[in-house]
């Protein structure tokens, strides 16, 4: 399931984060790569323990907590602290799959990576190329969103970042462990949640159909969630 989450950050939020990270020192992106990814990855990255990355990442986590669509789609249990990368001058990231378990360096914090997230931090017309291309059962899906918008997709999927041929692509990326491990089951729950919201908007939160459907949703979540 690939889902776009619009307006995670407003323009002012994007500007604050860009001011922080643009002034920081960047390093080779392979600092966080596994052996396979290192063969395909050409970009720059903020050190994950840098003050700028921690502050900007905290701002993103606060914003995610305010997004009902994100919570409904991801059903997050744990979120890896957001990281930041940038691509320019033909840099790209070839086809790869994310590690199944992500460990924060120097700590015992670890997650099972059920979902990957890319939060775009540059306007799409400010750079050429740089599309996130996710392979799924319907074929490759190409994603290039406005600054402040985010895409969620299964961490198990093959994906790549197309070469950036002009300008600079800047983004935050991170992984999530969901309360519901299975992507197909998360999709069912998300569709049901959106249906419940539509019925509630049309008929009211106290309508018997809304109450019954809400109960179905929570009973299915109770059956499938691990917390």
218 is in an annotated binding site: no
Least Cα distance to 189 among 148, 152, 224 occurs for 224
159 is in an annotated binding site: yes
149 is in an annotated binding site: no
The continuous run of DSSP H or E covering 156 comes out as none
Distances (CA, A) of 110 to 71, 115, 142, 212: 20, 14, 29, 37
Burial class (CB in 10 A: 0-12, 13-18, 19+), 137: exposed
Angle among Cα 222, 199, 183 to the nearest 5 degrees reads: 40
96 is in an annotated binding site: yes
Q: Which residues are annotated as part of the binding site for Fe cation?
A: 96, 98, 159
Q: Which residues are annotated as a binding site for 2-oxoglutarate?
A: 169
């Amino acid at each position: 399931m690939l889902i776009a989450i619009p307006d995670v950050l407003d323009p002012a939020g994007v500007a604050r984060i860009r001011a922080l990270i643009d002034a920081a020192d960047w390093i080779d992106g392979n600092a966080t790569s596994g052996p396979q990814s290192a063969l395909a990855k050409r970009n720059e990255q903020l050190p994950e323990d840098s003050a700028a990355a921690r502050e900007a990442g905290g701002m993103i986590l606060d914003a995610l907590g305010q997004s009902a669509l994100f919570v409904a789609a991801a059903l997050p249990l744990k979120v890896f602290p957001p990281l930041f990368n940038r691509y320019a001058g033909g840099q790209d990231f070839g086809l790869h799959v994310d590690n199944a378990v992500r460990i924060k360096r120097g700590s015992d914090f670890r997650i099972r990576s059920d979902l990957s997230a890319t939060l775009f931090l540059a306007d799409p017309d400010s750079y050429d190329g740089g599309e996130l291309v996710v392979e799924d059962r319907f074929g490759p899906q190409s994603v290039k969103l406005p600054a402040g918008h985010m895409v969620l997709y299964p961490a198990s999927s093959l994906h790549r970042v197309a070469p950036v041929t002009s300008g600079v692509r800047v983004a935050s990326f991170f992984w999530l462990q969901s309360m519901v491990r299975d992507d197909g089951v998360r999709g069912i729950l998300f569709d049901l949640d959106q249906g419940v919201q539509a019925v509630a908007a049309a008929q009211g939160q106290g309508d018997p159909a809304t109450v019954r459907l809400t109960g179905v949703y929570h009973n299915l979540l109770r059956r499938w969630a691990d917390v």
